[in-house]
Amino acid sequence: MKTSSPSIPGPLPKPERVLAWSIWIFHSLFAFVIAYWVSNGKAKGWIKHWMQDSSYLPGWKMDLSDAEWAYYRQTVWHLLLDYGLHSLGIYLSKHCLPSPISRYALILTGFLVHIHMSSFQCIVVLYAFAATVIFATWLMGGAKLVPWILCISFIAKATQYVPFSSGTHIFYREFNIYLYGSIKILNFALYLSDGPKFRNFWKLLEESLLYFSYLPYSMTLIVRFEDFKEQFEKWEKNREIFCWETKKSAIWFGVRLAFWGAFIDFLLHFIHVQALFNSPDSLVNSLNVYEVCAIAYVAGQLFHVKYVVIFGVPAFFAALDGFQPPPPPICISRVSLYSRMWRHFDNGLYQFLKHQVYIPVMRKPLPLVLSILRGLAALCAVFGVVLAWHGTRRHYIFWVTLSATELIVERIGWQIWERPEVQKLRERIGEHGCRRIMATLMLLTVTPGIFGVFFFLGQEGVGETIAMNVVVQGFLDVINFNISAFPLTAGFAFLHILTLAMFLEYIKPFCSFVPEVAKPERKIQFREKVMWTAVTLFIYLVCCQIPLFGIMTSDSADPLYWMRAIMASNRGTLMELGISPIVTSGMIMQLLAGIKVIEVGDSPKERALFNASQKLFGMLITIGQALVYVMTGMYGDPSEIGAGICLLLVVQLTIAGLIVLLLDELLQNGYGLGSGISLFIATNICETIIWKTFSPATINSGRGTEFEGAAIALFHLLATRSDKIRALREAFYRGHLPNLMNLLATVFIFSIVIYLQGFRVELPIKSSRQRGQYATYPIKLFYTSNMPIILQSALVSNIFVISQMLANKWGGNIFVDIFGKWGDDNNARGIPTGGLCYYLSPPHSFAEMYNDPLHCIVYIVFMLGTCAFFSKSWIDVSGSSAKDVAKQLKDRQMVMRGHREASMIHELNRYIPTAAAFGGLCVGALSVTADFMGAIGSGTGILLAVTIIYQYFETFVKEQAEAGGVMGMFLN
């Protein structure tokens, strides 16, 4: 596909791009893991002097070595108060006062809040300077050089002469008022210099005072006078008292800001890259290449999030007022052309430099050679202003030099790309080939841009150290063939970084190395499908019993107990990971396809590429999970079991994960029945139910030896107890082991689910081409099948796992305890005993419900609400919404009887969302009922098992109908 723009080569297929995104996300997350290891490992002793007491958790430390963020945290509540008062003032002035008076009220409110934010002397000094600049500009006939010299001098030297109040937080606010106020003054003076603006002096004075007094544009945000004037005129004309859409958008933006502000403070408790970057370069020099790159990357991400918050707070109040503030900063880790960084990180600064520096210099046409020289001069002028803004220290000079170099390389590249010869070559090699070539050449733009940022973020010497260790030494190692992962060399890391940068364009060749099961070339008979399904099941059950070699035995509670049901996993065996990798990769890819991030066509080539990408993603998740399991000490302390055993464990888990992938593909390709995922889940759950019913294992419960299995225990109690009535009562109601009431509850839930599976609404449809061809489209009560309970279980299980990990490490902390307290039920699992996790866990009997009714109510509301929500949401992302069904019927040339094609979506919307939401509620209610009745396993597990078994039953009936009876199925 060729893009409409001749400047941009067409994109690669979306599955390749999504897989590339997945690789990028994996590397990004692992960079945070490495940064955590370094911060709390080898570098901890060197940076502890930077740590300060946490503002949230007593006894904890956090990294506040970034002075700007430390000052901002101290003053943020004062800023919020002032911005809030200002917004309230302008709202009341606009809607409660007539237009001429409201303007004066706006000016007065703005300056009063300015004074409260900084100080009276600060505002007097700043606007005395403003009067001086404007008067000097008028006196010199509107010469633009005058305001430039005065304002740049003020920016560079004012801090040495202007008065500041005592206190770091007040100093921070006053410093920014002076700095951004001088840019406001420069913008207005340059506006005056463009032409005769003094004809209507009083109107101009009023507009300038409105501009200077508008508080959200006085700190951290740069908005030109012309842009403010246009925004203000639109705002004044809009007399709507309350625009809900605008306010809703602004409030959502505010919620995101609050989240990112809390996130960065949370992260600073664990990752201390700011302290590392503020340390001497000798500390950075002691780290290996991956550690250096990870720390630099995380520092860049924290820098981005910090400015999302700092720029976002005034932007939020400006949006709340009804203005159009500059957009938030772009994420720096996804930028390959650093011209985009300059355009979109600080858009206000970019607009200022573009309109006040670059365009005025480049306005007049010149001959080619002079034009090139003028372009370089304009670039120097722009970055000269940037240096005046940030300072002229050595690392800032390196930063702007590398940024300017990148922009020059980018410009040369565009000039070459627009040549007719190159466009002809583009047609010959195709869009995908061009994209791959451009990915390789973009290393010339990414490299100076990235390392320029490293210079900007670090202290003197840090950027030079990173550049020498990663780029220079890495390049020298490559040309000398010094490329080794063990021990790690700079050459290996250098090639890895280059490969990662080009990964977006080079996914497809790797898909050919993904192992796959070829689709059958003939129709597989039913008896063969049964055989291959049995073989698959046998391999899975064998793997569930083979223990991992090298693990150290542990009697501790299983932290992943709550995920075992949906993972089809078995602790300490080859099936430790179960189906988790393939379910995760499949769910993510299907979600992306459902929301149209991936558009996968119906051609075999596109489907094959999508499936290969999904498998490759699953393999990467398998390796990642195996590493996490081993390195977090699930099988013993890595330092005790040794690197060799750790590697062996990772290899075992990876190979087992690959076996699961291939077994699932074997069944899905038509060799067997259903899918491996469903088969393994149902087997795992049914195995639990059967074992707890017929288990011959004996347990000493303190009242003598008892059988674990409920049915075996019944016969044992009847045979050994003289009081048969008491024996029956104990068999039915014993509370410490599975009992007959649990078994009957399980059978009851099985029956109810199977009964409800038959509930459906059948919509009459007919062919739009052939008369007399009628059919029905069924909408089942369980329209989304078992997806609501899978998603709800995955959500709760992950919450429980995270809570247990936090409790194991920081148990007793008030915030960790609010999240969840955990105990041990002596059954190889932890049980929540308090906090949020306790209320999200099911009561296991009516007695527990009676003793703690609040727990019961919260659990029911949460369970029903999440199941209904997930069910309703799933139809929109899985391609089963009314719109998608209408499209499917249209593609099959079918329409609903009694309705035109145009009204099908409306009619389907009457049934599908209702069925999805109500079906989700029913699924949740059945799970709650199963938990309350004490069904064997869990409500979630039983529902998964029943729905999967019913699907196999429907498959059996379908095969029977095609084969002409049961005998035909096995004899043909």
Q: Contact at 8 Å (CB) between 950 and 757?
A: yes
Tens digit of each residue's pLDDT (9 = 90 or more) over 767-799: 766 666 677 778 888 777 777 777 777 777 767
Tens digit of each residue's pLDDT (9 = 90 or more) over 191-244: 888 766 555 777 888 888 889 999 999 888 889 998 899 888 888 887 665 566
Q: Which residue has the tokens 């199925």?
A: 969
Q: Kindly state the tokens that stand for 489.
A: 């060399």
- Enumerate the β-bridge partners of residue 698: 707
pLDDT at 247 over 50: yes
Tens digit of each residue's pLDDT (9 = 90 or more) over 603-632: 556 566 666 767 777 787 788 778 877 776
Q: With left for phi above 0 and alpha for psi between -120 and 50, is residue 723 left, alpha or beta? A: beta
User: What gap in Å lies between CA 96 and CA 119, rounded to an integer?
Assistant: 29
Using 50, 70 and 90 to split pLDDT, how confident is the model at 18?
Answer: low
Helical ranges in 470-603 per DSSP H? 473-479, 490-502, 508-511, 526-545, 564-567, 580-594
Q: Contact at 8 Å (CB) between 187 and 354?
A: no
pLDDT of residue 504: 35
The whole-number average pLDDT for the span 176-185 is 89
User: What gap in Å lies between CA 228 and CA 106, rounded to an integer?
Assistant: 14
Tens digit of each residue's pLDDT (9 = 90 or more) over 342-387: 788 888 888 888 888 888 877 777 777 777 777 788 878 888 888 8
Q: Kindly state the tokens that stand for 595.
A: 């929301």
pLDDT of residue 606: 59
pLDDT at 261 over 80: yes
Nearest to 276 by CA among 263, 261, 265, 287: 287
pLDDT of residue 714: 84
Kind of pairing between the strands at 61-63 and 698-700 = unpaired
Nearest to 314 by CA among 90, 80, 109: 80
Q: Kindly state the tokens that stand for 261.
A: 């502000």
CB-side exposure of 276: number of CA atoms within 13 Å? Answer: 34
| pLDDT above 70 as % of the chain | 80
CA 605 to chain centre: 30
pLDDT at 559 over 70: no
pLDDT of residue 498: 60
pLDDT at 85 over 80: yes
User: What gap in Å lies between CA 673 and CA 667, rounded to an integer?
Assistant: 6
From residue 233, give the alpha-carbon distance in Å to each of 96, 183, 230, 663: 18, 22, 5, 66
pLDDT at 594 over 60: no
Q: Contact at 8 Å (CB) between 839 and 799?
A: no
User: What gap in Å lies between CA 226 and CA 223, rounded to an integer?
Assistant: 8
| pLDDT above 90 as % of the chain | 2
| Mean per-residue pLDDT of the chain | 78
Q: Kindly state the tokens that stand for 795.
A: 């959500």
Q: Contact at 8 Å (CB) between 295 and 35?
A: yes
Q: Contact at 8 Å (CB) between 473 and 497?
A: no
Instruction: Name the strand (E) or helix (H) holding 707.
Output: strand 705-707
Tens digit of each residue's pLDDT (9 = 90 or more) over 148-172: 888 888 888 877 788 888 777 788 8
CA torsion, ordered 356, 358, 363, 368, to nearest 10 deg: 170
Using 50, 70 and 90 to split pLDDT, how confident is the model at 837?
Answer: confident
pLDDT at 508 over 70: no
pLDDT at 841 over 70: yes
pLDDT of residue 777: 77
Q: Contact at 8 Å (CB) between 488 and 290?
A: yes
Q: Contact at 8 Å (CB) between 56 and 265?
A: yes
The whole-number average pLDDT for the span 855-866 is 87
Query: How many Cβ atoms from other residues are within 10 Å of residue 86's Cβ?
Result: 26
Q: Three-state DSSP class for 478?
A: helix
pLDDT at 112 over 80: yes
Going from the N-terminus, what domains does the chain have, and what CATH number goes with each?
A: 67-256 (no CATH), 526-693 (1.10.3370.10), 696-737 (no CATH), 749-971 (1.10.3370.10)
Q: Kindly state the tokens that stand for 558.
A: 């299983």
Cα first-last separation, the chain:
47
DSSP string, 898-924: TS-GGGHHHHHHTTHHHHHHHHHHHHH
User: What gap in Å lies between CA 954 and CA 87, rounded to an integer?
Assistant: 62
pLDDT at 970 over 50: no
User: What gap in Å lies between CA 374 and CA 372, rounded to an integer?
Assistant: 5
Nearest to 446 by CA among 426, 470, 428: 470
Tens digit of each residue's pLDDT (9 = 90 or more) over 198-211: 557 778 888 888 89
Angle at 799 between CA 796 and CA 804, to 5 degrees: 125
The whole-number average pLDDT for the span 789-814 is 74
pLDDT of residue 562: 61
The whole-number average pLDDT for the span 809-817 is 74
pLDDT of residue 355: 84
pLDDT of residue 291: 81
CB-side exposure of 268: number of CA atoms within 13 Å? Answer: 29
Lowest mean pLDDT: which of 51-55, 173-177, 354-358, 808-812?
808-812
Using 50, 70 and 90 to split pLDDT, how confident is the model at 82?
Answer: very high
pLDDT at 145 over 50: yes
pLDDT at 598 over 60: no
pLDDT of residue 40: 83
pLDDT at 488 over 50: yes
CB-side exposure of 85: number of CA atoms within 13 Å? Answer: 15
Q: Contact at 8 Å (CB) between 712 and 722?
A: no
